[in-house]
Amino acid sequence: MKVLLSFLFLINLSVSAKTLVISDIDDTLKRTNVLGYFTGGLRSTNPFIGLPELYNDFLCNEEETQEKRDYCKKFRGHNHSLNRSLIYVTAASGRIQMFGREFISRSGFPQVAVIGKETGRDTLEFKTSTVSEIVKAESYDEIILIGDNGQHDVGAYKAVSEAFPNKKITTYIHQVYNPSHKDDDEKKGVDLAPGQVAYFTGSDLALEFYAKGLISEKQLKNIVSKVHRYITSRDEDLYEQVVPEWSDCRPFMANYERPSVHLSKDIEKLVSSIEDKLKKACR
């Protein structure tokens, strides 16, 4: 009985933990292709499939009743619990920043604060100092940093983690670029720093959130099912919402380790199918 009570206590503690997510936008949530020809930069309805659902589920799960959770999701984060916080930090500036804000609104993500860079400011300095300021402003049980390996997120998040060694900080990097790109140095991605966790699809990131107890099994299945439907589609436009033509998933698949968490047979089958599809696409 004591073991059971301790287990239930730990579950309750995990669920009620105060968690902050700080997220980049371009190439993290949005299919922008910053290192290429910025093909998705001016669009506002081009998310990586599954991520809008994941962010809304995360932000609204701590509401006291199902009615309040439904309200939170319908109005994308309005009146969410104080135990869950989300803020976007983007290096886009000027008119490009405006497209990022419109993307958040039109692509179904939670409509919370978007902090953008001032024109002319150094990107690495901006990201590092802004994220650091947010982290030290309030006490959280865990801070989750989400970015991509295109430009400065890896370095900025590494610096923030090192600056706050006593805080629980987890970093997830959307590994859409290849650090070993042979044709063009400007299109080379950044190698992840030690301890940073890579993801490529919305399914991968959802599994990480599920392993932390931040989303439910039902929510995980919904996200995984959607990613599976798109990645197995013969419609190129749907497939590209998971694996864009300009991305390179070989580095991700070469080192990917699924988080150690029990999955139902239905979810396991879907996840394995997604992974098999990626293995073929990433050769």
Question: What digits encode the pLDDT tens for the residues 14-72?
Answer: 446 899 999 999 999 999 999 987 777 778 899 999 999 999 999 999 998 999 999 99
Mean pLDDT of all residues in 70-99: 90
Taking 50 as the threshold, does the pLDDT of residue 11 lie above it? no
Q: Cβ contacts of residue 67 below 8 Å, gap of 6+? A: none
Which residue type sits at 130?
A: T
Task: Find how far residue 58's CA is from the centre of its chain.
Answer: 11
Token pair, residue 54, equals: 């994941």
Give the number of other CB atoms < 10 A from CB of residue 232.
Answer: 15
Taking 70 as the threshold, does the pLDDT of residue 3 lie above it? no
Distance separating alpha carbons of residues 127 and 172, to the nearest angstrom: 15
Question: What digits encode the pLDDT tens for the residues 186-216?
Answer: 678 999 999 999 999 999 999 999 999 999 9
Q: Cβ contacts of residue 266 below 8 Å, gap of 6+? A: 221
Taking 60 as the threshold, does the pLDDT of residue 8 lie above it? no
**H or E element, residue 184:** none
CA torsion through residues 270, 274, 275, 280, sign:
positive
The angle that helices 265-281 and 202-211 make with each other, rounded to 10 degrees, is: 140
What is the pLDDT at residue 40?
74
Q: Cβ contacts of residue 165 below 8 Å, gap of 6+? A: none
Distance separating alpha carbons of residues 46 and 217, to the nearest angstrom: 26
What is the pLDDT at residue 208?
98
Name the CATH architecture for the domain at 16-281: 3-Layer(aba) Sandwich (3.40)
Domain boundaries, the chain: 16-281
What is the pLDDT at residue 30?
95
Question: What digits encode the pLDDT tens for the residues 217-273?
Answer: 999 999 999 999 999 999 999 999 999 999 999 999 999 999 999 999 999 999 999
What is the pLDDT at residue 13?
41
Distance separating alpha carbons of residues 228 and 218, to the nearest angstrom: 15
Unique residue bearing structure tokens 């670029």: 177
What is the pLDDT at residue 215?
97
Taking 50 as the threshold, does the pLDDT of residue 181 lie above it? yes
What is the pLDDT at residue 28?
97
Unique residue bearing structure tokens 């730990």: 10
**Size of the chain in residues:** 283
Unique residue bearing structure tokens 């190129």: 236
Mean pLDDT of all residues in 144-169: 97
